[in-house]
Structure 1
Amino acid sequence: MSLSDTPGAVPDPGLVRTTRSAALAEPTERVRPLWITGVVLVNLGINAAFFGPIQVLLAQQSEHFDPGQKEAIFALVNGAGAAVSMVANPLFGAFSDRTASRLGRRVPWVLAGAVLGAAALVGLAGAPNVAVMTLMWCLVQAGCNAAYAAIFAAVPDRVPVPQRATVGGLAAMGQTAGILVGAVIGAAVSGNYALGYIICAAALVAGVVMYLVKSDDSPLRVGAARPMNWAEFLLGFIRPLRHPDFAWAWTTRLLVNIGNHMVTLYLLFFLADAVHLKETTGLEPAFGFLVLTGLYAVFVIISSLVGGRLSDRTGKRKPLVIASSAIIALASLILAFAPTWTGGIVGACVLGVGFGAYLAVDFALITQVLPNAADRGKDLGVVNVASSLPQVIAPVIAWPFVTMWGGYVSLYVAAAIIGLLGAVFVVKIKGVD
């Protein structure tokens, strides 16, 4: 693998042009089911490794270290990891744009990221204190984001526009299945978070196998790989935002994800402390969380598949993004004003309907407003910052709402307002219907 020209190499210009055009051209051939399955499984493994810890294991480990400061510890660890992901995703995306390997540009980073993430999860299982816990989670984020940046960029590399929302919906299905698998792991280990981390590591490694075998990744010759220009990379965070459609799409994704994270961040604590699930129903909060996650997952899968196909058939992106953002906001309001087990069930189903369609269609919309085909990995990494930055922002916003500013009612109302702003800004995008 190379990130720059090999010293002394004199590549054949004709071969370089051919290789680069194959790697960078807008795809026109529909991708096959096995390739899509590989992408789905990578998304499943990465999200199991992310959300098993985020939803259950990190919260349990935080409570183990200091029950009285569990919210603060959880916010610290989660925020530090998200900060790493904001740098890692575009950085590794830029590296994959320039990688010359016979395996292709994206495959080496999917493999390396999965190995690093799995090793860090194993280290997290044995963390003796909050400092080591934070460090290991940051390494998990670095590895998983390397793999995620590469697999995210592989879609516009290989999938033609008329198929893109459908593939986006299937990838969203993999993401949701990974979230569900993570929740199942958290519930199944019954508080043994160390075992949970090890199982998440195994899921991450297993998830990348089919893609590594069936990637069909178009390679760049060594001499065709552009050298890494660090000044250009740093300016690259700003340059895409000079493209109005890209900027509005990025802002929309940021706001909708902030609202969504504010809804899900403290859901386990919400069931315990606001719904009083144990006292009112006899169910353990961890089990209740699993039930809600399962319902959410079912509706995300259905909505992402239906929404993606509908968007591809009609060629429309913006109306579906607006509608799905409004549905997500509605789910927040249900939780705010019906803090009961029934309200939680209804809210989870509505949230799944909204977020499933949003994931599929917004993904297709984003790929159609990328500034430059040669920088798909880096620019999509900048897009993914709009998904990871909320992991930093949401805890900062949510914690004072929960502890000082009215509790979960005010938290979920604020989440609804923020999500609705995302729906409003979608209309600013001019280059996509």
Structure 2
Amino acid sequence: MKKTPYKRLVPAAMIGVGTSVAPLVLLMFGIIQFNIIRLVGESEVTAMFGICAGISSFALVVLSPLGGFIADRTYVKFGRRRFWILLGSVGGCICMYFFANATSIFMLACSWIFAQFFYGMVTNSSYSIVPEQVDQEKFGRVSGFIGASAPAFVMLGSMIVMGYFSAVSVQDKILMIAFGQLVGGVIATLLIIEPASVKPEVEVSNKDEVKGKNYFYPSFKLYPEYTWALLTKLLINFTNAGLSMTTLFYIARFAMDEKSIFELNAFTSMGIALMVGSGLLGGFLSDKVRKQKPFVIMAAMITGVCMIAFAFSHNITLVIISNFIFNLGFGMYNAVDNALVNRILPSKDNYTKDISIMNVTTQLASSLVNFVAPVIIAFGAATFGDDGYTFFFLLLAGFSILSAVVVFPIPEVGKPLKKDLMASLESGATEAISSESPQQTDANSMTKAHS
């Protein structure tokens, strides 16, 4: 198989992931809100934004894995990963054009959904080249680099679009972001070397395994490690999604005004640097010691402790420190957990689909948390007589701890996965049968006939 040289593959994956994640994050920095204001006015923006965000999140829970399923079954001479990185970039750019020039909320919501879908195809295809082309002993460091790319491109895009071109209209900002991603997608496509994608010939020696591979969701019976990895990612994303309530938390507990909150958010955003650094360090160390689970468990526990600090903090300084430490833990978690996921993916025929199911946990967690958070906070306030955030953050801490717990059933680096054990047992049985003497075979046949 043709492979991309390591020094080309890492930049390609970083550019592919970074430039496709950054536009969706940058839109949330007020761009989408002002684009909605352009259509409905300031009085309706909160309700309309909530409706659009909720619909798009739930739509992507279905569309993203479906897109991954299609990508894995795209057979082209160009190479399926390169094909979807390029097509996703072009499709995302077109959708962003319609998003910028939407004349109705329906048009805005549809273009937003499909922009996220196409950029998600770029992201997942860029992730898929890692398990396909990188040696397993380098999964950690590569995942660290890729994990650092998204916040790095978000910071760069924020400085350029929100800073240097701050006076530019919202529509022009959207088009600038789309063009920047398109350039990044083309560069990633040119850097990647990939063989032609051809339809594989399926061997039916193991009917259960073939059937398991054809499930839209990998069979728990054959690939239990995949479900455990999905659960740990979903649970940690519940915790991370809960941080979207911090602005209201600052108002409720510390009575902060708008100006103070923006200044605080600007200051704590520097924690992204810690997220990048801890991701790179965690990925490198996990490869060095050939251990992944201790890093994932430790990182999840760190985020849980930070949520407990949030719950009981009545000092803004403690909140700021906890925020920085959370970024430290979450960065390490993302890098090493992505390496763990690459190692336990069930089948090379379904990499993009299986990775997209993993990544959709972000949208699913965000949708559910944003939907139920007001109810949980109200329940906490009524039950404990405070602002409600003590109970809310303790619940988020519980999700982090559970995320660490469900890592335990996953085999460590060097230990066989269940599919490997089954293959080994079947191979041993086949060898034993083939090594039998003719007399033994005849005896066995007679015994079976007698039975």
TM-score range normalised by the length of the shorter chain: 0.7 to 0.9
Compute the displacement of 1:187 (Å): 4.7
Check if 1:317 corresponds to 2:297: no
Equivalent-residue separation in structure 1 for 2:282 and 2:390 (angstroms): 30
Is 36-45 or 325-334 further displaced after alignment?
325-334
Change (3 A) 1:426 1:72: farther
Is 176-185 or 417-426 further displaced after alignment?
176-185
Q: Which residue of 1 aligns with 2:240?
A: 260
Equivalent residue letter for 1:209:
V
Match runs of 1:153-232 below 5 Å: 153-181=128-156, 183-184=158-159, 187-188=162-163, 189=166, 193-221=170-198, 224=200
CA offsets per residue over residues 246-282 of structure 1, 9 Å max, x none? 111111111111111111x244555566555446xx5
CA offsets per residue over residues 27-66 of structure 1, 9 Å max, x none? xx89422321121112211121121123543355567746
Equivalent residue letter for 1:208:
G
Q: Which residue of 2 aligns with 1:251?
A: 231
Match of 2:32 among 58, 67, 81: 58
Is 233-242 or 200-209 further displaced after alignment?
233-242
Equivalent-residue separation in structure 1 for 2:285 and 2:310 (angstroms): 29
Equivalent-residue separation in structure 1 for 2:168 and 2:369 (angstroms): 25
Equivalent-residue separation in structure 2 for 1:71 and 1:191 (angstroms): 23
Check if 1:291 corresponds to 2:271: no
Equivalent-residue separation in structure 1 for 2:167 and 2:309 (angstroms): 29
Match runs of 1:390-405 below 5 Å: 390-401=365-376, 405=380
Check if 1:37 corresponds to 2:18: no
Is 347-356 or 85-94 further displaced after alignment?
85-94
Change (3 A) 1:153 1:186: same
Equivalent residue letter for 1:427:
F
Considering only CA atoms, is the larger Rg found in Structure 1 or Structure 2? Answer: 2
Per the normalisation by structure 2, the TM-score is 0.78
Task: Judge conservation of contact 1:327–1:354 (CA < 8 Å) in 2.
Answer: yes
Q: Which residue of 1 aligns with 2:335?
A: 360
Change (3 A) 1:341 1:30: farther
Task: Judge conservation of contact 1:271–1:289 (CA < 8 Å) in 2.
Answer: no
Equivalent residue letter for 1:291:
F
Is 204-213 or 335-344 further displaced after alignment?
335-344
Equivalent-residue separation in structure 2 for 1:195 and 1:272 (angstroms): 33
Equivalent residue letter for 2:183:
A
Compute the displacement of 1:401 (Å): 3.6
Equivalent-residue separation in structure 2 for 1:66 and 1:421 (angstroms): 43
Equivalent-residue separation in structure 2 for 1:122 and 1:273 (angstroms): 39
Is 155-164 or 195-204 further displaced after alignment?
195-204
- What runs of 5+ residues in structure 1 fail to find an aligned partner? 1-21, 24-28
Change (3 A) 1:158 1:334: same
Change (3 A) 1:201 1:53: same
Overall identity of the aligned pairs, in % = 22
Q: Which residue of 1 aligns with 2:410?
A: 429
Equivalent residue letter for 2:51:
L
Compute the displacement of 1:390 (Å): 1.4
Equivalent residue letter for 1:247:
T
CA offsets per residue over residues 301-350 of structure 1, 9 Å max, x none? 10000000000001111111011111122333333344665345323311
Structure 1 counterpart SS, 2:407: helix
Change (3 A) 1:148 1:277: same
Check if 1:102 corresponds to 2:77: yes
Is 348-357 or 241-250 further displaced after alignment?
241-250
Equivalent-residue separation in structure 2 for 1:399 and 1:233 (angstroms): 40
Change (3 A) 1:233 1:54: farther
Equivalent-residue separation in structure 2 for 1:302 and 1:404 (angstroms): 38
Per the normalisation by structure 1, the TM-score is 0.81
Change (3 A) 1:257 1:31: farther
Q: Which residue of 1 aligns with 2:62?
A: 87
Compute the displacement of 1:83 (Å): 2.2
Q: Which residue of 1 aligns with 2:384?
A: none
CA offsets per residue over residues 224-246 of structure 1, 9 Å max, x none? 589xxxx9998312536752111
Equivalent-residue separation in structure 2 for 1:332 and 1:428 (angstroms): 25
RMSD: 3.1
Equivalent-residue separation in structure 2 for 1:409 and 1:66 (angstroms): 35
Compute the displacement of 1:123 (Å): 2.4
Change (3 A) 1:177 1:240: farther
Change (3 A) 1:326 1:113: same
Structure 1 counterpart SS, 2:80: coil
Equivalent-residue separation in structure 1 for 2:398 and 2:168 (angstroms): 35
Compute the displacement of 1:89 (Å): 2.6
Task: Judge conservation of contact 1:185–1:199 (CA < 8 Å) in 2.
Answer: no
Change (3 A) 1:255 1:167: same
Equivalent-residue separation in structure 2 for 1:132 and 1:173 (angstroms): 33
Compute the displacement of 1:113 (Å): 1.1
Q: Which residue of 1 aligns with 2:421?
A: none
Equivalent residue letter for 2:8:
L
Compute the displacement of 1:393 (Å): 1.6
Equivalent-residue separation in structure 2 for 1:255 and 1:318 (angstroms): 16
